[in-house]
Amino acid sequence: MPALLTSSAVTDEQRRQNDRHRHAIVIATLALLCLYMYLFTSLADFIGAPQPQELAEYLRFTSPHIFDRDQNVGTQLGVHYAPVFEYTDDSLLVLLLVVAIAFLCAYYLPLRYKQGSLALLTLIAIGIMYGSRAAAALLLAHLLVYLVFHPDRRQGLWISALAGIAGYWALLAGSAAPGKQVLFALALPLLAMGVYRYSISPLLLNERVAAVLRTLVIHAAVLTICLNLVIDVIGGSGILVPLGVMLFFFQWARLVMYHIDYQDELVPKTLSLDRYLAVFLSPGVLPTWAWAVTIPQGYAYINNRFLCEDKNRIVLAGLKLLGIALLYLVFWLWAVRHLEQVLTGFGLEINQMSIRTMIHRYTLGEEFETLSVLLTTLLDLVETILVFAGVVHFKVAVWRICGYNIEPYLSKPWLATNLMNLWTRYAYYYREFLVRAFYYPVFFRLSRLHASIRIIVASLAAAGLGNLIMHLLKQNMQHGMYAHNVSYVLSTWPYFLLLGLGIGVSMIFMRRRKRQRKPWTLDRWFAVDLLAAYITIQYFALIHIFARPTQESSLADMFVLFMLGLGIDLQ
Amino acid sequence: MNRIEIVESLKSFLRQEFPNQGVELTETTDLLGEWFVDSLGIIETVLYLEKTFGMDIRRADINGDNFRNLATLSDFIVNRLEQTSTG
Residues of A in contact with B65 (CB under 8 A): 8
* Listed range (A30-34, A388-392, B36-40) with the worst mean pLDDT: B36-40
Per residue in A101-148, pLDDT (tens digit) is 999 999 999 999 999 999 999 999 999 999 999 999 999 999 999 999
CB atoms within 10 A of CB B76: 20
Q: What share of chain A is helix, strand, coil (3-state, %, to 5)?
A: 70, 0, 30
Residues of A in contact with B63 (CB under 8 A): 5, 264, 266
* Close Cβ partners of B54 (under 8 Å, ≥ 6 residues apart): none
Q: In terms of CA atoms, which chain B residue is nearest residue A265? A: B60
| B82 in A contact zone (CB under 8 Å) | no
- Averaged pLDDT score across all residues of chain A: 92
* Close Cβ partners of A106 (under 8 Å, ≥ 6 residues apart): A114, A117, A118, A401, A402, A403
Q: Report the sign of the C-alpha dihedral through residues A417, A419, A424, A425, in that order.
A: positive
Question: In 3-state terms, what secondary structure has residue A73?
Answer: strand
Q: In terms of CA atoms, which chain A residue is nearest residue B31? A: A2
- Asked if the Cβ–Cβ distance from A444 to B63 is below 8 Å, we say no
- Asked if the Cβ–Cβ distance from A6 to B17 is below 8 Å, we say no
Residues of B in contact with A514 (CB under 8 A): 16-17, 19
Per-residue b or e along A447-456, where b marks 16 or more CB atoms closer than 10 Å to that residue's CB:
eeeebeebbb
Distances (CA, A) of A231 to A216, A240, A253, A470: 20, 12, 25, 21
| A452 in B contact zone (CB under 8 Å) | no
pTM value? 0.93
Determine the distance in angstroms separating the CA of B58 from the nearest CA of chain A, rounded to an integer. 6
B24: left (phi > 0), else alpha (psi -120 to 50), else beta?
Answer: beta
Question: In 3-state terms, what secondary structure has residue A67?
Answer: strand
Q: What does the alpha-carbon distance between residue A526 and residue A536 come to, in Å, rounded to a whole number?
A: 15
Nearest to A440 by CA among A425, A419, A461, A416: A461
* Listed range (A198-207, A497-506, A507-516, B76-85) with the worst mean pLDDT: A507-516
Determine the distance in angstroms separating the CA of A528 from the nearest CA of chain B, rounded to an integer. 20
Helices A493-512 and A467-479 cross at an angle (nearest 10°) of 150
- Asked if the Cβ–Cβ distance from B60 to A7 is below 8 Å, we say no
| A515 in B contact zone (CB under 8 Å) | yes
DSSP run (H or E) holding A271? none
Distances (CA, A) of A441 to A281, A504, B60, B62: 28, 16, 10, 11
| A411 in B contact zone (CB under 8 Å) | no
Find residue A404's DSSP bridge partners. Answer: A306
Residue A262 has phi, psi (to 5 degrees) of -65, -45
pLDDT at A69 over 60: yes
Are A239 and A231 in contact, with CB atoms under 8 Å apart?
yes
B75: left (phi > 0), else alpha (psi -120 to 50), else beta?
Answer: alpha
Q: What is the 3-state secondary structure (H, E, C) of A395-415?
A: HHHHHHHCCECCCCCCCCHHH
Q: For residue A395, which amino acid is it? A: K
pLDDT band, residue A1 (cuts 50/70/90)? very low
Q: How many helices (H) and strands (E) does chain B have?
A: 4, 0
Q: In terms of CA atoms, which chain B residue is nearest residue A424? A: B38
Q: What does the alpha-carbon distance between residue A270 and residue A516 come to, in Å, rounded to a whole number?
A: 48
pLDDT band, residue B15 (cuts 50/70/90)? confident
Q: What percent of chain A has pLDDT over 70?
A: 97
| A453 in B contact zone (CB under 8 Å) | no
Q: What local confidence, expressed as pLDDT, does residue A480 receive?
A: 85
Q: What does the alpha-carbon distance between residue B9 and residue B48 come to, in Å, rounded to a whole number?
A: 10
Q: Residue A470: how many CA atoms within 13 Å on its side-chain side?
A: 25
Question: In 3-state terms, what secondary structure has residue A306?
Answer: strand
pLDDT at B11 over 70: yes
Mean pLDDT of A226-233: 88
Nearest to A388 by CA among A471, A341, A335, A332: A332
Q: What is the 3-state secondary structure (H, E, C) of A139-175?
A: HHHHHHHHHHHCCCHHHHHHHHHHHHHHHHHHHHCCC
Q: For residue A440, which amino acid is it? A: Y
**Which of A2, A264, A444 lies nearest to residue B36, judging by beta carbons?**
A2
Per residue in A533-563, pLDDT (tens digit) is 999 999 999 999 999 999 899 999 999 999 9
Are A358 and A571 in contact, with CB atoms under 8 Å apart?
no
CB atoms within 10 A of CB A233: 11
Distances (CA, A) of A275 to A107, A115, A143, B64: 17, 7, 12, 22
pLDDT at A339 over 80: yes
A20: left (phi > 0), else alpha (psi -120 to 50), else beta?
Answer: beta
| A551 in B contact zone (CB under 8 Å) | no
* Close Cβ partners of A232 (under 8 Å, ≥ 6 residues apart): A238, A481, A482, A483
**Which of B19, B33, B60 lies nearest to residue A6, judging by beta carbons?**
B33
- Asked if the Cβ–Cβ distance from A8 to B64 is below 8 Å, we say yes
Give the burial class of B41: count Cβ atoms within 10 A of its Cβ; 0-12 exposed, 13-18 middle, 19 or more buried.
buried
| A435 in B contact zone (CB under 8 Å) | yes
pLDDT at A487 over 50: yes
Q: What percent of chain B has pLDDT over 70?
A: 84
Q: What local confidence, expressed as pLDDT, does residue A104 receive?
A: 98
Per residue in A243-280, pLDDT (tens digit) is 899 999 999 999 999 999 999 888 999 999 999 999 99
**Which of B32, B58, B67 lies nearest to residue A444, judging by beta carbons?**
B58
Q: What does the alpha-carbon distance between residue A460 and residue A505 come to, in Å, rounded to a whole number?
A: 10
* Close Cβ partners of A5 (under 8 Å, ≥ 6 residues apart): B32, B42, B62, B63, B64, B67
CB pairs under 8 A between A and B: 66
Residues of A in contact with B42 (CB under 8 A): 1, 5
- Asked if the Cβ–Cβ distance from A516 to B38 is below 8 Å, we say no
Q: What local confidence, expressed as pLDDT, does residue A393 receive?
A: 97
Q: Please tell me which residue, A177 or B80, carries the higher pLDDT value.
A: B80
Determine the distance in angstroms separating the CA of A420 from the nearest CA of chain B, rounded to an integer. 9
| ∠ Cα B7 B9 B11 (to 5°) | 70
Question: In 3-state terms, what secondary structure has residue B53?
Answer: helix
- Asked if the Cβ–Cβ distance from A447 to B30 is below 8 Å, we say no
| B87 in A contact zone (CB under 8 Å) | no
CB atoms within 10 A of CB A530: 12
Q: What local confidence, expressed as pLDDT, does residue A2 receive?
A: 47
Are A511 and A324 in contact, with CB atoms under 8 Å apart?
no
**Which of A441, A455, A515 lies nearest to residue B18, judging by beta carbons?**
A515
| A512 in B contact zone (CB under 8 Å) | no
DSSP run (H or E) holding A19? none
